[in-house]
Amino acid sequence: MLQLYNTLTNQKEKFEPLNPGKVTMYVCGPTVYNYIHIGNARSAVAFDTIRRYLEYRGFEVNYVSNFTDVDDKIIKASQEMNLSVKEITEKFINAFYEDTSALNVKKATLNPRVMDNMDDIIKFIEVLVQKGYAYESAGDVYYKTRKFKDYGKLSGQLIDDLEQGASSRVDDIDQDKKQDPLDFALWKKAKQGEISWDSPWGQGRPGWHIECSVMSTKYLGDTIDIHAGGQDLEFPHHENEIAQSEAKTGKKFARYWLHNGFVTIGEEDQKMSKSLGNFVTVHDLLKEVNPQVIRFFMSTTQYRRPIRYSSANLNEAKVNLNKLQTAYENLSYRLKDSVEGNDKEVEVNFANLEKDFVKVMDDDFNVQNGISVVYEMAKQLNVYSEKEKVYTDTINNLINTYKKVVEIFGISFSEEKELLGDTIEQLIQERNEARKNKNFKRSDEIRDLLKEQGIILEDTAQGTRWKRND
């Protein structure tokens, strides 16, 4: 039984989507004005891993994640860089796709943008005004926070405890325009020279929170299964999304709320963030570290827990990933001398391991326990690859299951390594020729050359085999 921790109820709950077999999932996406750092990528990787697991469990996932392409920070960046808002956002949306696809994050079903949804945003705000949940003030429109009775139900805050200016995204200068300091902006009047749109309240642009209410309900329906995002979005962003959406539709907005933990860095485990300046961009890191290693590093920590970013931890991920790859190569290699048929016992044992995997992953996507089972699978692959007689069907069975499970972590065993495998094969053939011709100098040279690459040769009755010495 799949259970997940619902931030709305603060407990693990059985996961049952509204429509059997189908999951609607909305993940708050990035504000596109710079390269994403490892902390931003965490959310993309964590929820991609969850999506992959849901798909592995047989669900069809409709995954929507927005791009915030209208925002104060973007406008500021456009003024500084002397580029239009459109030019900046195009550039960083493309960079986002490049970085996340390098990390093997599957493309969302849809990535809606604010600029493409302006009419719906305005209509949504109009309904809130009509229903008395919002009011216009000097060209701005504000949401009447106290009118929404359930305000605070996600973050567990009492409205009376919320202090003025709780939202860091609200400028102090706006306070005079509000009827209550707790109210937040749905629409902001345009300042001179800023990008703006026509609206019933004059030229302006939307506040930040409204876009997610609009896009989630527009593309996935009034009530969705999973709404997800970083821990820092729980308040006020997600609280405001609930207030806006439920006031408009009168229905529950999202049934399960998932929040991912931070990435920390340094000895004091500081949160990695743009404002603290302690960030590493994915764009830069990809120049130095194999993308699969970064992905593996990030996807093997359960989504709610913090990830400690350090070169030692990245290196550990590299070593572990190599072990998984080696096990795959060792057994794949045996397909060549395998015989027809299967080994029932080996397959049953492996199928039991897969059941163990599902059991631990069903517990709120506990990837730490999940990957431990995968290491055990790798061990079994190695054990079987050492057997004198191996069966083709069993090799295929084990490898298919193994690949399927490893793919949940965003890892596909690369073509590159297989090419390398071909090169190794060629060298082994050359060595065999050399040995046949009693050219032992050359055959030793090749053995040493391969040894330098971490390849160990074994001369067996079935021929020469190789494996990686990791």
- How far apart (Å, rounded) are the C-alpha atoms in residues 45 and 47? 6
Q: Which is nearer to Zn ion, 26 or 409 (CB)?
A: 26
- How far apart (Å, rounded) are the C-alpha atoms in residues 328 and 90? 40
The reply on whether position 228 binds Zn ion by CB under 5 A is no
- How far apart (Å, rounded) are the C-alpha atoms in residues 470 and 393? 27
Q: Which of 157, 185, 191, 190 is nearest to 172 (CA)?
A: 185
Residue 450 in contact with residue 458, Cβ under 8 Å? no
What residues contact residue 315 under an 8 Å CB cut-off, 6+ apart? none
Q: Which is nearer to Zn ion, 207 or 261 (CB)?
A: 207
| 3-state SS, residue 281 | strand
Residue 41 in contact with residue 103, Cβ under 8 Å? yes
Q: Please, is 54 exposed, middle or buried when counting C-beta atoms within 10 Å of its C-beta (0-12, 13-18, 19+)?
A: buried
User: 468: how many CB neighbours lie within 10 A of its CB?
Assistant: 18
The reply on whether position 186 binds Zn ion by CB under 5 A is no
Residue 204 in contact with residue 188, Cβ under 8 Å? yes
Q: Which is nearer to Zn ion, 28 or 46 (CB)?
A: 28
The region of 27-35, 87-95, 258-266, 366-374 touching Zn ion under the rule CB under 5 A is 27-35
User: 122: how many CB neighbours lie within 10 A of its CB?
Assistant: 21
Q: Which is nearer to Zn ion, 17 or 229 (CB)?
A: 229
State the DSSP string of 113-131: BSGGGHHHHHHHHHHHHHT
Report whether 37 belongs to an annotated binding site: no
Structure tokens at 335: 């397909």
Residues between 335 and 374 that touch Zn ion (CB under 5 A):
none
Residues between 436 and 465 that touch Zn ion (CB under 5 A):
none
Report whether 13 belongs to an annotated binding site: no
Name the DSSP letter for residue 276: T
The reply on whether position 212 binds Zn ion by CB under 5 A is yes
Cβ of residue 229: shortest distance to Zn ion, in angstroms?
Answer: 6
Cβ of residue 212: shortest distance to Zn ion, in angstroms?
Answer: 3
Cβ of residue 207: shortest distance to Zn ion, in angstroms?
Answer: 12
The region of 104-112, 165-173, 209-217, 315-323 touching Zn ion under the rule CB under 5 A is 209-217
Q: Which is nearer to Zn ion, 141 or 212 (CB)?
A: 212
**Helix (H) / strand (E) containing 246:** helix 239-249
The reply on whether position 32 binds Zn ion by CB under 5 A is no
Report whether 212 belongs to an annotated binding site: yes
Name the DSSP letter for residue 238: I
Cβ of residue 134: shortest distance to Zn ion, in angstroms?
Answer: 18
Q: How far apart are the first and last CA of the chain?
A: 37
Q: Which is nearer to Zn ion, 141 or 228 (CB)?
A: 228
The reply on whether position 28 binds Zn ion by CB under 5 A is yes
In the block, tokens 């406008």 appear at 75
Q: Which of 250, 259, 30 is nearest to 156 (CA)?
A: 259
Structure tokens at 192: 């001179």
Residues between 262 and 291 that touch Zn ion (CB under 5 A):
none
Report whether 189 belongs to an annotated binding site: no
Cβ of residue 238: shortest distance to Zn ion, in angstroms?
Answer: 7
Q: Which is nearer to Zn ion, 61 or 210 (CB)?
A: 210
Q: Which is nearer to Zn ion, 236 or 410 (CB)?
A: 236
Report whether 347 belongs to an annotated binding site: no
Cβ of residue 290: shortest distance to Zn ion, in angstroms?
Answer: 32
The region of 207-215, 353-361, 362-370, 439-447 touching Zn ion under the rule CB under 5 A is 207-215
Cβ of residue 66: shortest distance to Zn ion, in angstroms?
Answer: 7
The region of 26-34, 95-103, 199-207, 380-388 touching Zn ion under the rule CB under 5 A is 26-34
Cβ of residue 233: shortest distance to Zn ion, in angstroms?
Answer: 6
# residues near Zn ion by CB under 5 A = 2
Chain-centre distance of CA 165, in angstroms? 31
Detail the residues annotated as belonging to a binding site for ATP.
Answer: 274
Detail the residues annotated as belonging to a binding site for Zn(2+).
Answer: 28, 212, 237, 241
Contact residues for Zn ion (CB under 5 A)? 28, 212
